[in-house]
Structures are given as C-alpha cells and as structure tokens.
Amino acid sequence: MSDSDAIKKVSIICAHGGLDEVYPALILANGARMEGIEATLFFTFFGLNAIMKKKVDNLKVATVGNPSLNLAMPMLGMPITWPFPTLMGAIPGVSNFATYLMKNEMEKLDIPPVSEFLEMIHDAGGEIYACKLAMDMFKLTRDDLVDPVDAVLTVGEFYEKSAGATVLFT
C-alpha cells in the first residue's frame, strides 16, 4: 500500500450502548491512535450510555434478540456452534451473567474497562464527542458525561471535524 492509500484519520460513530456494542468503537479508536492515525469518537443515541458517568462502567450485554451469543458458548464449555436460546435471555439475571462472563474474559486479555479505555484514547490524543441532538432528546447535560468527553457537537460540527476522515459506524 502506498502512503497515499494509508488511512490517516478515522471518525467512529458509536450509536449502540450495550457492552458488546461499545467495545468495537473503543478498540478501533485505540488501535488507530496506536498506529498514529487521528481518531475521533462520536457517541449518539444509545451510545451515550458509554460516556455517561452513571452508566459508563455498568453497561450490559443484551441477551434477548442477540443472534451472535453463540460466540459466548465456549465460555460455558459448550461448542461455538450451539445457539444461545433467546428465550433464556428473558430470565432474570441472564443478562448480568452474560455481562459477567464477557467482562471476565476481557480482564483475562487485559482489556480495560470502558471508563479506563476512554481515558487512554483521550490521553493518546483521540477526540471524544457527544451528539447534541441525542443529548437534548434524552435531556442530558455536559455534567452527565465523563471527563474525557471533549465537547457536545451538532451533526454539522461532527462533519466538519470528520473532513477527510474514513467514517466508521459501529
């Protein structure tokens, strides 16, 4: 790949708030910074959970309607080919158990909790923003957000920041 083909800047939109839905955005942003690529994270709609003080370290894995939970079956000593029955996800405590399993595996791999990951990305020069429309819709203020958030932006301001970037939606 030539230098002109190399990615120099990424803007990552995180619109989902489940534990398993937030980590891809964090991993992509952190990986970009480690490679010297400019990285911007934009949290909108339910993705705001990942940057809210009251929710940041209490995100859950959704077990109802999540067709990919078969990937977690080896954590239970079962083959990856076994499906996770959606009906089981409705049983109280199953989502908490799935969340525990995922956090436990991430800890074994030395993957930091969401709040620490956000700090690492920010400290490495990544920019972290919240969507103004979503903030207004959910009646949130800047005080509801964790410190690494740089600002609350309109979509237009996000587009300005993203000029020339590869835009990723997680």
The residue extents of the domains of the chain are: 9-57+113-169, 69-111
Helices 114-123, 19-34: axis angle to 10 degrees equals: 20
Q: For position 9, what pLDDT does the model report?
A: 97
Q: Token pair 């690494």 is at which residue?
A: 148
- Cβ atoms 115, 146 nearer than 8 A: yes
Mean pLDDT of 85-114: 87
pLDDT top residue among 65 and 131:
131
pLDDT top residue among 72 and 40:
40
- Cβ atoms 34, 126 nearer than 8 A: no
Helices 19-34, 94-108: axis angle to 10 degrees equals: 20
Q: For position 35, what pLDDT does the model report?
A: 96
Q: For position 2, what pLDDT does the model report?
A: 63
Match domain 9-57+113-169 to its CATH number in 3.40.225.10, 3.30.70.890, 3.30.300.30, 3.40.1260.10: 3.40.1260.10
Question: What pTM was estimated for this model as a whole?
Answer: 0.89
> What CA–CA distance (Å, rounded) separates 138 from 147?
19
Task: Please report, rounded to a whole number, the percentage of residues in the chain having pLDDT higher than 70.
Answer: 97
Q: For position 158, what pLDDT does the model report?
A: 97
